[in-house]
Amino acid sequence: GMADKVLAAVGVESTASAVARHYGSGLLDGWLVDTVDAGAVDEVEAAGIRCRAVPLMMTDVDATAEMARQALALAEEVRA
């Protein structure tokens, strides 16, 4: 998709961990990745960014609300 093209243009792989590293801990305090990218959590955290793997597909209101809850929980964790 478009993200693949844009990331390739700036020399960044289109993976959850590569994008997190590109932005870096100076910009990101926390990063949600989809459950399919759960293997990237340790790598992202090693870069100094707190990370959680959660379902990110907004398939319905309940799924969207749960993703929002997870984002807020991560924000609270980062803030603490």
C-beta of residue 41 within 8 angstroms of C-beta of residue 51:
yes
Q: How confident is the model at residue 78 (pLDDT cuts 50, 70, 90)?
A: very high
How far is the C-alpha of 8 from the C-alpha of 28, rounded, in Å?
Answer: 21
Model-level pTM? 0.86
Nearest Cα residue to 77 out of 49, 57, 58, 55: 49
Structure tokens at 48: 């100094």
Bridge partners, 52 (sequence order): 32
* Other Cβ atoms within 10 Å of 39 Cβ, number: 12
Mean pLDDT of all residues in 39-60: 96
Supply the pLDDT for residue 1: 82
- The 10s digit of each residue's pLDDT in 16-47 is 999 999 999 889 999 999 999 999 999 999 99
Range of the domain at 37: 2-79
How far is the C-alpha of 79 from the C-alpha of 69, rounded, in Å?
Answer: 15
Domain count, the chain: 1
